[in-house]
Chain A
């Protein structure tokens, strides 16, 4: 789901960076309006980004294979506005350490994953108005599912619409839908994983949930 370097035209990469810069500024501004201390933002974003980075090494079972969780929804639930800069930094380390994604495409990838995390957080807040395990399971599942689905749709759309091949519109739409359908099992697994982790946190450390 991470677009590698050289895949997108330079102007799209530049637009991705512009969008990411604007969204990062907005997220940090919003986070600072709720907590005055920048040390709180830096400590929470950096250590939790590292924790999420390590959690992404855990394999989710998806018979007959197992996959790495995307964690966009869970990051949205736990970090709120800070999830965007945390994902941006996490994506940089994934590109540097494992070659997943890239440096020129970092802006576009951050918009895809970070935007999905923010939207998943909004969905979670909308659904999690009642307290209790049932509400957290439902809202957690939807947030996890939405996090993966939105990221896949965004990435697929950017990729297919920027490929300079002569491909008719019908095929392009079919390709985006096929890509989303192929990721459906992953989105479902991520939804279950997010719901169960959110329930665990509600039982053990409820102050972590926003």
Chain B
């Protein structure tokens, strides 16, 4: 949905990040049940495809599986099920369920944040958010060169296959193939970094950074962006207040 894409990045990223942090803070099981609702509302409003969400869940689900098994087996508390010498604990099962719900909810908000943020003008807006200029520049250029070096890697793989240079089954032969491939990619990267350095110096990198930051600082967010920022911050603060209240009670 265009609403999320039009939401000013310099307001969207801090407010959604605060929301993710406040969701990560929640430990009370009743409050945890609110988290999927918040995540679902944001995801539906973003208009992102469900397939994207499911594909992004693959890596954390493996991780969550290991954590859940650990919690169910090693937590102290009452036995839920006994299978021979193995005892599954009820407290561990509840904790594992809470952890899974919280993790998947926070990840969903993260996906909405990252996939609805347009890349154009991102560099200036991140600098305006007090992120160090040098780190923003590294990030923007890394994103650009992942594509360039990734393409080099694919060409090398194709050339290797065409020449019949296959890894084989033995460990020594496999290392004999992957080590030169990896090292050659690193050398290409190093040489590319030298060319980039020369180009940056020629363009006077560093001297115009302050002026660039000032020009971005003059931009004003729209009222709708500000209202969405306010709503997200309110939900985040409310979650934190509820968690603290429940914890102290």
User: Given A9-B27, A166-B77, A197-B183: A51 and B201 within 8 A (CB)?
Assistant: no
CB pair A4–B24 under 8 Å, yes or no, is: no
Answer yes or no: A61 CB below 8 A from chain B CBs. yes
* B75 lies within 8 A of A39 (CB): no
Chain B: minimal CB distance from A109 (Å): 12
Interface size on A, residues (CB 8 A): 75
Question: Is residue B84 within 8 Å, beta carbon to beta carbon, of the partner chain?
Answer: no
Name which residue of chain A comes closest to B70, CB basis.
A175
Q: Are B142 and A11 in contact (CB under 8 A)?
A: no
List residues of chain A with CB within 8 A of the CB of B71.
Answer: 163, 165
Residue from A5, A60, A78, A165 in contact with B186 in the complex, judged by beta carbons closer than 8 Å: A78
The reply to whether B24 and A192 contact each other, CB–CB distance below 8 Å, is no
Q: How far is the CA of A9 from the CA of B24 in the complex (A)?
A: 6
Distance in Å from the Cβ of A76 to the closest Cβ of chain B? 13
For chain B, residues 63 to 91, give those with C-beta under 8 angstroms from any C-beta of chain A: 63-64, 67, 70-71, 74-77, 91
Inter-chain CA distance A21–B46, complex, in Å, is 31
Cβ B105 vs Cβ A6 within 8 A: yes
Interface SS of chain A: helix, strand, loop or mixed?
A: helix
Asked whether A50 is an interface residue with its Cβ less than 8 Å from the other chain, the reply is yes
Instruction: Report B-chain residues with C-beta under 8 Å of the C-beta of A122.
Output: none
Q: Which size bracket describes the interface of B in this complex?
A: 35 or more
Q: Is the CB of A11 within 8 A of B148?
A: no
User: Contact: A164 with B27, CB < 8 Å?
Assistant: yes
Q: Is B233 an interface residue (CB 8 A)?
A: no
Which B159-190 residues have a C-beta within 8 angstroms of A? Answer: 167, 171, 174-175, 178-183, 185-190
* Closest Cβ–Cβ distance, residue B211 to chain A (whole Å): 16
| Residues of chain A within 8 A of B137, CB atoms compared | 42, 46
B129 interfacial by beta-carbon distance below 8 Å: no
Given A54-B153, A58-B182, A165-B71, CB of A8 within 8 Å of CB of B59: no
- Could you tell me if B190 and A102 are in contact, using CB atoms closer than 8 angstroms? no
- CB-CB contacts below 8 Å: B3-26 with A: 17, 20-25
**Cα(A85)–Cα(B131), bound, Å:** 13
Chain A residues near B218: list those with CB within 8 A.
none
Residue of B nearest to A205 (CB): B187
For B190, the chain A residues whose CB sits under 8 A away are 47-48, 51, 78, 205, 208
**What does the 1/0 interface line of B24-35 toward A look like (CB < 8 Å)?**
110100000000
Since A5-B106, A43-B141 are in contact, a sample of 10 more A-B pairs with Cβ atoms closer than 8 Å, ordered by chain A residue number, is A6-B24, A47-B142, A47-B192, A49-B138, A50-B144, A53-B146, A69-B182, A99-B107, A164-B27, A193-B178
